[in-house]
Amino acid sequence: MFRRPVLLLAAILLALVAVGLVVVGAFPPDVSPKPVERVVPNDRFQTR
């Protein structure tokens, strides 16, 4: 049917990747909020 089916498959795969990138760019996933954890310096809790 086609002379070069590998090129056709490569073109279809490239088109699917491009469509996927456009969809993710148009509708980005929601960012889940996370609490900020601060690091406490250890020198405050050491014995003298």
The pLDDT score that the predictor gives to residue 46 is 67
In the chain, where are the structural domains located?
1-27
The pLDDT score that the predictor gives to residue 19 is 96
The pLDDT score that the predictor gives to residue 36 is 86
The pLDDT score that the predictor gives to residue 3 is 80
* pLDDT digits 0-9 by tens, 2-46: 688 899 999 999 999 999 999 999 998 888 888 888 887 776 666
pTM above 0.85, yes or no: no
**Measured distance CA(9)–CA(36) in Å, rounded:** 46
Residue 47 has pLDDT above 80, yes or no: no
